[in-house]
Amino acid sequence: MSHQSLAGVRVVDLSRALAGPYATMMLADVGADVLKVEPPTGDDSRGWLPFTGAPDDEQRESAYFLSANRGKRSVRLDLKSQEGADRLRALCASADVLVENYRPGLLARLGLDPADLRAANPRLVTLSITGFGAGGPDGARPGFDQIVQAEAGLMSLTGPADGEPTRVGLPIADLLAGMFGAFGVMSALHERERTGAGRAVETSLLAAVTAVHAFQGAGWLTAGVDPVRTGNRHPSIAPYGTFRCADSSLVIAVGSEALWRRFAAVVGIPHDRPDVATNALRVARVAELQAELEALLADRKADDVIAELVDAGIPAGRIRTMPEVYDWEQVHHLGLVHHLAHATLGDVAVPGGALRYDGTTAASTVPPPLLGEHEPAEWQRWEAPWLDQQEEAR
């Protein structure tokens, strides 16, 4: 059973692709009633690879779409038409939250400015997610994930020291913006309990990536240190990174002096040796330390080393492939593989939610919808309060 802390909260989801849909999926996972309002041709991500099933299978679905849309119901609207615009106004009149990730100003040009929708329903919380933020010299620019990974400095920090700047292997700017957006909605809903009024919540891919610069951003702003790519090595701590063993590489994270003393005993290095006695000394000669450690590990199997390090309380792990991750017993124990009864695919597995409440993973049991699957029932259910208001007004 999914967690229901947002039970009764109605969310109109106008967003497409990933950042907005990920935010609304997080809300659905904790009980929100999410109506996905798609253009007549559907969310663009319905056409993105990879697909389930064979190429000629008419019932195949995009795994990309499935990954970010559980817990939702789907209807179609042409917002450029008068009927579509009126229907969206009706939906928002009875909603608690509106989520959109159109380019700034587009909804206003269609006569659907979120500020106007909020004026008609003062309790409405609106979330707008853009590429570069509203306003400013770059606010009108379109911003897909990799563009913002580049512009927000993330690519400059990622990849080998002597190689090209590299994108993170997941659309992390989109995902972070979705997470921040969901957090913003939750905080605005909590505030509404006191004030009775909604809020206009805004975030962007640029803001999300910049907000997680953490010590790299603070290092530049406070100490004038321009960070560089360090590959798999940590720029501030050593030893911390990947190390080759006899059969494969492993990851070791020696994040404190106490851990260093235990680690040094495992690999056979005097912990107080003058050239490695402190983290600052180890970072200063990180390349030499890497070579020394890999020489000590060269005849040992990675799993044996990991077992010994973990037994000593030292963080260490394998570099797993995706198949290995989803075969991992720990992943299944945590409920991180979620099975849903899809309308055409039958049982479908998707990545589960990251939160647990009282030992149970929070993930909606409602499968990702087919395009327009919930018409006309959802129109009737959502529009009824608005139609009642119109009748009372007459």
Which of left, alpha, beta for 372 (phi over 0: left; psi -120 to 50: alpha)?
left
Phi, psi of 209 (to 5 degrees): -70, -45
Are the C-beta atoms of residues 289 and 238 closer than 8 Å to each other? yes
Q: Which amino acid is at 225?
A: V
**Roughly how many angstroms between the first and final C-alpha of the chain, as a whole number?**
43
For 64-102, give the DSSP string: HHHHT-TTEEEEE--TTSHHHHHHHHHHHHT-SEEEE-P
Q: Which amino acid is at 385?
A: P
d(CA 155, CA 343): 39
- 174: annotated active-site residue: yes
For CA atoms 215, 216, 217, 222, give the dihedral sign: positive
Are the C-beta atoms of residues 320 and 242 closer than 8 Å to each other? no
Asked if the bond preceding 323 is cis, omega within 30° of 0, the reply is: no
Structure tokens at 356: 């647990």
Are the C-beta atoms of residues 225 and 219 closer than 8 Å to each other? yes
Q: Beta 360-361 vs 249-253: how paired, if at all?
A: unpaired
> CA 93 → CA 28, 201, 388, 390, distances in Å?
20, 18, 11, 11
Q: Pick the catalytic residue from 43, 174, 272, 299.
A: 174
CB atoms within 10 A of CB 7: 11
CB contact set of 182 (below 8 Å; sequence gap of 6+): 22, 23, 24, 26, 27
- Give burial (CB, 10 Å; 0-12/13-18/19+) of 49: exposed
In Å, how far from its chain's centre is CA 242? Answer: 25
d(CA 71, CA 36): 10
Q: Which residues are catalytically annotated?
A: 174
